[in-house]
């Protein structure tokens, strides 16, 4: 079974994120869910983004790296949207990473150096999500798949951003179920 470090999105550590973590736990995995916002959650992406901009992206990413310091290095690093930044950073820079699960976002690997040999990745997003498609994430994802030996990009039909968070109006049950199935297969191989 795998150890997973799962970082939340810009709306905070919502019940949907913790519920997703519980699904992975029910399959036998150990899942850590660091709270980068110290208990704060936000009703909208815009409100959460205002908090992140005030706090600083580097500060939030640094909190993620710090949260992982005392956790096993041979983890799978996962993130929802904003949480992709610390997850991808750790997957690329922390020796021993077992994989990366990037939900709703992807940043250029050049932000953290080359993609490490032997570290598999999955990227999941909707094919018409304006955050993913219009802000360059899809290009970063395609570049990552070209660079990494074992990386996959899964695009789901629709335009919702945080479609895998069951506590938000953007939740898409069918897409989230398929994402979860693919993630459990990934974790079974990584564990």
CATH of the domain at 186: 3.40.50.1820
| Tens of pLDDT, residues 180-189 | 999 999 999 9
- List the domain range (segments joined by +) for residue 33: 3-190
Query: pTM for this one?
Result: 0.96
| Tens of pLDDT, residues 88-118 | 999 999 999 999 999 999 999 999 999 999 9
Asked whether the predicted pLDDT for residue 191 surpasses 80, the reply is: no
Phi, psi of 182 (to 5 degrees): -65, -40
Phi, psi of 187 (to 5 degrees): -65, -35
- How many domains does the chain contain in total? 1
pLDDT at 115: 96
pLDDT at 175: 98
| Tens of pLDDT, residues 17-75 | 999 999 999 999 999 999 999 999 999 999 999 999 999 888 998 999 999 999 998 99
Q: Is 137 exposed, middle or buried (0-12, 13-18, 19+ CB in 10 A)?
A: buried
Asked whether the predicted pLDDT for residue 174 surpasses 80, the reply is: yes
């Amino acid at each position: 079974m795998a150890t997973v470090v799962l970082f939340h999105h810009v709306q905070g550590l919502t019940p949907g994120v913790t519920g997703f973590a519980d699904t992975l736990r029910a399959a036998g995995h150990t899942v850590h869910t660091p709270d980068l916002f110290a208990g704060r959650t936000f009703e909208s992406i815009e409100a959460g983004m205002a908090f992140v901009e005030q706090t600083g992206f580097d500060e939030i990413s640094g909190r993620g790296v710090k949260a992982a310091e005392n956790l096993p290095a041979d983890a799978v690093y996962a993130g929802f949207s904003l949480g992709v930044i610390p997850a991808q950073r750790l997957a690329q820079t922390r020796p021993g990473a077992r994989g990366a699960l990037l939900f709703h976002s992807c940043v250029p690997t050049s932000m953290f150096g080359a993609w490490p040999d032997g570290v598999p990745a999955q990227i999941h997003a909707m094919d018409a999500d304006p955050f993913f498609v219009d802000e360059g994430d899809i290009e970063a994802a395609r570049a990552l798949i070209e660079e990494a030996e074992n990386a996959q990009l899964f695009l789901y039909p629709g335009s919702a951003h945080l479609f895998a968070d069951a506590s938000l109006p953007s939740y898409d049950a069918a897409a989230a179920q398929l994402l979860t199935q693919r993630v459990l297969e990934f974790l079974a191989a990584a564990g």
